């Protein structure tokens, strides 16, 4: 039996299990976000309040690589940090979805 040209290219991941590289990339994204927040002179509590988040600890989770900036508040997050929304989303895509970033924008620099 012949295999389709791209059969087996996609690997299934177990729910709730992130590849080590994904965790490392989320941590790098968090470091970048933490520096941008510091540049904006905002505490985690300040940023959470401005974003309408109930708990400031969510900011900590994102900055420590345990979570991602939710797409639905990405624009507001960018605004609060004083970063243009599209540039903010494009930069985070490098960390959160590197292959999609490559497909959309090529192998350009970060």
pLDDT in tens, 88-108: 999 999 999 999 999 999 976
Please report which confidence band the pLDDT of residue 83 belongs to, taking 50, 70 and 90 as the band edges: very high
Domain that holds residue 43: 20-105
The pLDDT of residue 7 is above 60 = no
27: in domain: yes
The residue-averaged pLDDT of 50-67 equals 97
The domain that contains 43 carries what CATH number? 1.10.260.40
For 9, 10, 13, 82, the CA distances from 3, given in Å and listed in that order, are 11, 14, 21, 50
Q: What pLDDT score was predicted for residue 20? A: 75
- Indicate the SS3 state at residue 49: helix
Domains in the chain, number: 1
CB environment 52-89: b (16+ within 10 A), e (fewer): ebeeeebbeebbebeebbeeeeeeebbebbebeeeebb
**Which stretch of DSSP H or E encloses residue 66?**
none
The pLDDT of residue 28 is above 90 = yes
13: in domain: no
């Amino acid at each position: 039996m012949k295999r389709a040209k791209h059969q087996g290219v996609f690997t299934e991941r177990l729910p709730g299990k992130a590849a080590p590289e994904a965790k490392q990339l989320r941590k790098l994204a968090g470091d970048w976000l933490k520096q941008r927040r510091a540049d904006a002179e905002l505490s985690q509590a300040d940023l959470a309040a401005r974003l309408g988040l109930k708990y400031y600890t969510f900011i900590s989770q994102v900055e420590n690589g345990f979570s991602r900036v939710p797409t639905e508040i990405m624009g507001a997050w960018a605004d609060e940090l004083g970063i243009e929304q599209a540039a903010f989303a494009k930069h985070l895509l490098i960390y959160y979805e590197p292959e999609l970033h490559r497909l959309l924008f090529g192998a350009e620099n970060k």
